[in-house]
Amino acid sequence: YCVEFRTESLSQHCALETRPHARWMQYLREGHTVCVACQPPAMSTATQRCSGDGHNAHGDKILHWEAIGNSQCQGTWKKIRQLEHCSCPLVHSFIFT
């Protein structure tokens, strides 16, 4: 499954990332909608959910995220909705780890 979030805030360290494999961090923006896929092995076998997917978050609950490979690139987002059938666009799409 996938979850759509609206980015509320992010650290300035995301924009400063220049390593080729992590350059995607430069394109994160406040107010953008991002789509995050929950796939094995990030999915718990017991709950069939990914940690941090905002399962119980509704309304205006602010959730925290951190980019893999650059712990200084972090921020907050709000859950918009969960999609049982993923249809994430090629841009602004991520995977829970």
Please answer whether residues 89 and 34 qualify as being in contact, where contact means their C-beta atoms are separated by less than 8 angstroms.
no
Q: Determine, yes or no, domain membership for 79.
A: yes
The pLDDT value recorded for residue 96 is 78
Q: Determine, yes or no, domain membership for 64.
A: yes
40 upstream amide cis, omega within 30 of 0: no
Check residue 27 and report its DSSP letter.
G
Q: Each residue of 12-68: pLDDT tens digit?
A: 998 888 888 888 888 889 999 889 999 888 899 899 999 888 888 876 799 999 988
The number of folded domains in the chain is: 1
DSSP class per residue in 15-57? TT---GGGGGGGG--TT-EEEEE--TTTB-TTTSSBTTS-TT-
For residues 66-92, average pLDDT: 87
What confidence tier does 9 reach under pLDDT thresholds 50, 70, 90? very high
Q: Residue 17 sits in which domain range?
A: 2-92
Residue 82: how many CA atoms within 13 Å on its side-chain side? Answer: 12
Q: Determine, yes or no, domain membership for 97.
A: no
The pLDDT value recorded for residue 20 is 86
